[in-house]
Chain A
Amino acid sequence: MADEVVLLNSWASPFGSRVRIALAEKGVKYEIKEEDLFNKSPLLLTVNPVHNKIPVLIHNGKPICESLNIVQYIDEVWRGKSPLLPSDPYQRAQARFWADFIDKKIYETGKKIWRGKGEQQETAKKELIEIFKLLEGELGDKPYFGGNNFGFLDIALVPFYSRFYTLETTGNFSIEAECPKLVAWAKRCLEKESVSKSFPDPHKVYEFVLLVNKKLGIQ
């Protein structure tokens, strides 16, 4: 019996990319339904009535929402290949802690840069670099956050690399200059097909962010 796997997604979303990477790591075939976030489909509103957000994974008709939840679900269902979460409970807790940290901090701080200006933007830039330095500390000398193997925390973070061009252009600063280790790690991840195939063109992402800003009446 074949699995039916559908992903409601938006091509520029780093949260959606997390799910795409996880599915690719597991070799799962799936159908993508691209959502226009300014004109959400009835399907999206039905399967995610609480938040009305992508990504949503629909597995054999059952919806799962929230990107990190979905990645954990994928890891638990498709056990045969490429474990994403560490097997050691302490390492697993650390991965979950840092993934939670990424979710709480990066996107909101990023928005203050690509939507903000003046002092608010400057403060957000400093904050973002601090966050990235903390993550560099957590990475240490390991090739991946997961150690020798690409895993959950790498998946949680690497999609935001597609926003670096947007951040650096709107914020007029260089993330690589301050956090070379992090950029080196991101490039290493991009060598993996599961990551590169779902990685949106950073220039297109920048155009998209500007378009969204315009629609929201910003700048």
Chain B
Amino acid sequence: MATGDVKLLGAGASPYVNRVQIALNIKSENYEFLEEKLGSKSELLLKSNPIHKKIPVLIHDDKPICESLVIVQYIDDVWTSGPSILPSDPYDRAIARFWAAYVDDKWYPLMKELWMAEGEEARAAAIEKIGEGLVVLEEAFVKCSKGKAFFGGDSIGFLDIAFGSFLGWLKVTEKMGEMQLLSEAKTPNLVEWAERFCCDDAVKDVFPKTEKLIEIFKIMQARAKAPPSN
């Protein structure tokens, strides 16, 4: 049974930080949120994550853990009395990890490609690739959920957290681009899943409002043409 001091270094607008918040909420674990200011890195961050210098960092009893998905697995390993985040079956765990890596390494970079795209042709190409990726994830959802509400089954799990954390920025992109990326026509299951995910108790107070994210997006675009990539 884990007790002890839990601090989270992060910023509310970062989907990677949101992942950790959701995981801690699932475990009903209290924590101190240490907000990093946009555009600067605190001494504590640089000391706790000297390798990547990025948020989120979980500091548990003064020991830092870095990389959002490593942190989520750590939370699941430590707080064992709460609901499980990773599936119990080894094969299902491997599949959840596989798709989480796909989201991080293949799909989310396409969103960044869209934000940086110059000209209609580049934008259209990025939108098409994002759409294709979402169709792949729609198929993954059908296989993983096995007819239930979430990738993780009856309740939110590892892959729901990994992919769902990007829904805030997905909505911003849709609103600002006046387009639909997640559509009823092509990805009906994901549309419903997204609704359920965002309403879940562990998630609903975590994402900043879309308007707030749009504000932040505009600031970052003005600075370097891209929203948080850490």
Contacts and interface: CB of A to CB of B under 8 A. Distances in A.
Interface of A: 50, 59, 62, 64-66, 69-70, 72-73, 76-77, 89-90, 92-94, 96-97, 100-101, 134
B127 to A, nearest CB: 20
Given A64-B98, A69-B101, A77-B90, 17 more contacts: A59-B91, A62-B91, A64-B95, A66-B98, A66-B101, A69-B97, A70-B94, A72-B94, A73-B91, A73-B93, A73-B94, A90-B63, A92-B73, A93-B65, A93-B70, A93-B77, A96-B67
Chain B CB within 10 A, most for which of A59, A64, A97, A134: A97
Chain B: interface secondary structure?
helix
A15 to B, nearest CB: 13
Interface string B50-86: 0100000000100101110011011001100000000
Contacts, number: 56
Given A89-B78, A92-B77, A97 B94 contact: no
Contacts of A96: 67, 70, 73
A94 B58 CA distance: 12
Contacts of A76: 90, 93
B73 A101 contact: no
B66 A97 contact: yes
B66 A69 contact: no
A94 B66 CA distance: 9
Contacts of B65: 90, 93-94, 97
A64 B66 contact: no
Given A73-B90, A73-B91, A76-B90, A65 B98 contact: yes
A97 B65 CA distance: 8
Interface of B: 51, 60, 63, 65-67, 70-71, 73-74, 77-78, 90-91, 93-95, 97-98, 101-102, 106, 136
A90 B91 contact: no
Among B63, B71, B73, B94, find the residue whose CB has the most chain A CB atoms closer than 10 A.
B94
Contacts of A72: 93-94, 97
B51 A134 contact: yes
10 closest A-B pairs by beta carbon, nearest first, are A89-B77, A76-B90, A93-B74, A73-B94, A64-B94, A96-B70, A93-B65, A89-B78, A69-B97, A77-B90
Nearest to B60: A90
Contacts of B98: 64-66, 69
Contact of B70 (A64, A77, A97): A97
Contacts of B63: 90
A50 B136 contact: yes
